[in-house]
Amino acid sequence: DGVRSTVSTGRGVYKTTDGGQSWQFAGLYNAGQIGAVRIHPSNPDIVWVGTGEANNRQSSSWGNGVYKSTDAGKTWTNMRLKDSMHIGRIVIDPRNPEVVYVAAGGHLWGPNKERGLYKTTDRGRTWKAILQVDALTGCCDVALDPQAPDTVYAAMYTRLRQKNHSFQSGGPAGGLFKSTDGGQT
């Protein structure tokens, strides 16, 4: 859609300023794999990155939370959610750059509390889990209705790597969820 890119096999963020003819490293090599990138639609200096490979495999690489740059990728700040490990999508409310949603998958190898849909209303200083199902079901995708951004759609998905040869994928706890009040209900 012109404002996001998903990368799953390399480390760090790369930036182009000439339509893809050349690329420059823009940081975050030590943050783990990159799962989601979101550039603010009205201010391209604001870039959000979610770490952790969001693809569902038996050996997905993890990350260490969400990062933000306010200078087009010159510097980065970790904005928490370090234990989410796999970020599938980041969306920004087009009306208010302080409101950001993060789809957090959680640990691949065991249950954890930092799974679900997270929202900040203060540019990432604090986060609230607005949709959590259980310790094995995380959020793999989130979208806002462009005509009514308080309408939020979240895809929840259960996954667990139990042993080297075993993988639980999907289940009755997952599904598509909808909120019409910005995630309050």
Q: What is the pLDDT along the chain (185 residues), one digit of tens a residue?
A: 344 444 444 678 888 888 889 888 888 877 778 889 999 988 999 999 999 887 766 667 888 999 999 999 999 999 999 999 899 999 999 999 899 999 999 988 889 999 999 999 999 999 999 999 999 999 999 999 999 999 999 999 998 877 777 777 888 999 999 999 999 99
Residue 29 class from Cβ within 10 Å (0-12 exposed, 13-18 middle, 19+ buried)? exposed
Which of 175, 182, 88 shows the shortest CA–CA distance to 134? 175
Q: How far is CA 100 from CA 90, 96, 125, 162, 169, in A?
A: 7, 9, 11, 32, 28
CB 138 within 8 Å of CB 157: yes
In the DSSP assignment, the letter for residue 175 is E
* Cα–Cα distance, 69 to 44 (Å, whole number): 10
CB 86 within 8 Å of CB 105: yes
CB 106 within 8 Å of CB 114: yes
Which residues pair with residue 15 across a beta bridge?
24
Q: Report the pLDDT value the prediction gives residue 1, as an integer from 0 to 100.
A: 37
In sequence order, which residues have a C-beta less than 8 Å from that of residue 133 and are 6 or more positions away?
A: 115, 116, 156, 158, 173, 174
Q: Report the pLDDT value the prediction gives residue 49, as an integer from 0 to 100.
A: 95
* Cα–Cα distance, 107 to 77 (Å, whole number): 22
Which of 38, 29, 51 shows the shortest CA–CA distance to 1? 38
